[in-house]
Amino acid sequence: MHDQMARIQSHIESHQHMAGALMPLLHAIQDDLSYIPEECYGLIAKALNLSVAEVHGVVTFYHHFRTRPPGRHVLQVCRAESCQAMGCGALESHVKSSLGIDYHETTSDGSITLEPVYCLGNCACSPAIMLDDEIYGRVSPQQVESLLASARRDNP
């Protein structure tokens, strides 16, 4: 935790003088730590001359920001209309039952966090998913299954 706070402090120092610094700062923290620990709200608030409530309000407003560490891999399934037109409903049910979790949950072995996403901009290749930073188009339940199987295998 001590190391984490030191890293957060250095992100604060490199961002606090930007115009509209809070969003880029939160991104930097999450990129580094994979989430934004509540313990740092006070530090951020002080540096940017905000209240802790304002920082909390911003972190929780945006779907992208997390207040808890995710699993080692994050699977996003697109739920938008184009993907629905191509059967993402079946894909969602399959993934949920195969992982035994619902959206916003992490598998018990800590390997996969499942998130819904509203459009990956891959609408001509629906249904689409994103696993970590890799995007996949026209995915079948079988393909997701094999992607997830290999993701779960490379656990440390």
Partner 1 sequence: MNTVYIPRDSSAISLGANLVAAAIAKEAESRNIPLNIIRNGSRGMFWLEPLVEVATSVGRIAYGPVTTDQVASLFDAGFLDGGQHALSLGPTEELPWMKHQERLTFARVGITDPVSLQDYLAHDGYKGLRNAIDMAPQDIVQQVTDSGLRGRGGAAFPTGIKWKTVLEAPAEQKYVVCNADEGDSGTFSDRMIMEGDPFVLIEGMTIAGIAVGATQGYIYVRSEYPHSIAALNLAIKSAYEAGYLGRGILGSRHDFYLEVRRAAGAYVCGEETALLESLEGKRGLVRFKPPLPAISGLFGKPTVINNVISLASVPIILDKGSVYYRDYGMGRSRGTLPIQLAGNIKHGGLVEKAFGVTLRELLYDYGGGSASGRPIKAVQVGGPLGAYLPESQFDTPLDYEEFGKLWAVLGHGGIVAFDDTVDMAHMARYAFEFCAVESCGKCTPCRIGSTRGVEVMDKIIAGTDPAKHIALVRDLGDTMLNGSLCALGGMTPYPVLSALNHFPEDFGISKKEQAA
- Annotated binding-site residue numbers: 78, 83, 119, 123
Which residue among 65, 111, 141, 147 contacts partner 1 (CB under 8 A)?
A: 65
Contact, 102 vs 140, CB < 8 A?
Answer: no
CB of 23 to partner 1, least distance (A): 6
List the one residue out of 136, 124, 122, 128 whose CA is nearest residue 77: 128
Which residue among 4, 123, 141, 147 contacts partner 1 (CB under 8 A)?
A: 123
Which residue among 4, 7, 9, 23 contacts partner 1 (CB under 8 A)?
A: 23
Query: Hey, what are 130's tokens?
Result: 């994103």
- Give, as one character, the DSSP assignment of residue 130: E
Parallel, antiparallel, or unpaired: how do β-strands 112-117 and 105-106 relate? antiparallel
Q: Name the amino acid, one letter, at 16.
A: Q
Q: Which stretch binds partner 1 (CB under 8 A): 3-11, 105-113, 114-122, 145-153?
A: 114-122
According to the binding rule CB under 8 A, does residue 82 interact with partner 1?
yes
Annotated binding site for [2Fe-2S] cluster: 78, 83, 119, 123
86-105 binders of partner 1 (CB under 8 A): 86
CB of 2 to partner 1, least distance (A): 27
Contact, 43 vs 13, CB < 8 A?
Answer: no
SS3 126: coil
Q: Which stretch binds partner 1 (CB under 8 A): 4-12, 63-71, 104-112, 145-153?
A: 63-71
CB of 90 to partner 1, least distance (A): 12
Distance CA 72, CA 12 (A): 25
Instruction: Compute, in degrees rounded to 10, the torsion defined by CA atoms 104, 1, 25, 63.
Output: 10
Bridge partner list, 142? none
Residues forming the site for partner 1 (CB under 8 A): 19-24, 26-27, 48, 54, 57-58, 61-65, 80-86, 117-126, 128, 130, 133, 135-138
